[in-house]
Chain A
Amino acid sequence: GAGVSQSPRYKVAKRGQDVALRCDPISGHVSLFWYQQALGQGPEFLTYFQNEAQLDKSGLPSDRFFAERPEGSVSTLKIQRTQQEDSAVYLCASSLSGTSGEETQYFGPGTRLLVL
């Protein structure tokens, strides 16, 4: 079966541009997570969905970051008016139910965003 897929794999944006990053989770997975990974660092939690409900957005760094999952499957992370400090790899992960720390999270390959 297919794993988590993300697109685009690479994105170069000019400062001030809006970008949209897509995540296709594993079919049937209820929970979806977005992480930001800076160079040389571990992934940092951004936001969490259970089906279409965004239950936690405490990690979103500013109001320029917005995530949605309208039908409970595909998710989009949007960054408005990109800044150079937004340059990072954005990882998406899904899990079967995601309600406890016992669940494995399955990660996509990430989208590498470079803001010039």
Chain B
Amino acid sequence: SQKIEQNSEALNIQEGKTATLTCNYTNYSPAYLQWYRQDPGRGPVFLLLIRENEKEKRKERLKVTFDTTLKQSLFHITASQPADSATYLCAPCIDYKLSFGAGTTVTVRA
């Protein structure tokens, strides 16, 4: 069956450092992969989408990579700020269907 794994441990980092989150998937080949941010008590908010033929995508301080051979996506937050503290969800997608990982909680200390 399809499986999506994100960093099992929460990430605690110092302001200004780079946070790197991992998303591994098995048993399927998504054409796209999306990343969402979720704050407590709120619904997920879309951040970035990367296609299977793209190696890397950037948006402001965010960078996503997609390695279809390794079946892995990495999500980087550079120059992190306390406002980046949240849970980050990866969601490989086939057609209309998103399959979410459990998320990685990031806390950025001032």
* A18 contacts B by Cβ under 8 Å: no
Measured between beta carbons, the chain A residues less than 8 angstroms from B31 are: 101
Q: Which of A60-68, A72-80, A103-111 contacts B (4 or more CB under 8 A)?
A: A103-111
Pair A42/B100 contact, Cβ less than 8 Å? yes
The CA-CA distance from A44 to B100 in the complex, in Å, is 7
CB proximity of B16 to chain A, nearest CB, Å: 28
Pair B94/A104 contact, Cβ less than 8 Å? no
Pair B44/A100 contact, Cβ less than 8 Å? no
CB proximity of B70 to chain A, nearest CB, Å: 20
Range of interface residues on B (Cβ < 8 Å): 20 to 34
Measured between beta carbons, the chain B residues less than 8 angstroms from A33 are: 96, 98
A40-B102, A101-B30, A101-B34 known; A45+B97 contact, CB < 8 A: yes
Q: A100-B32, A102-B32, A103-B96 are in contact. List 10 more A-B contacts (CB 8 A).
A: A42-B100, A45-B99, A48-B97, A56-B97, A91-B44, A98-B96, A100-B96, A101-B95, A101-B98, A102-B51
The 9 closest A-B pairs by CB, nearest first: A101-B93, A107-B43, A42-B100, A101-B32, A104-B46, A98-B96, A43-B100, A42-B102, A107-B44
Chain A residues with a Cβ under 8 A of chain B: 4, 31, 33, 35, 40-45, 48, 56, 91, 93, 95, 98-110
Chain B residues with a Cβ under 8 A of chain A: 4, 30-32, 34, 41-46, 49, 51, 89, 91, 93-103
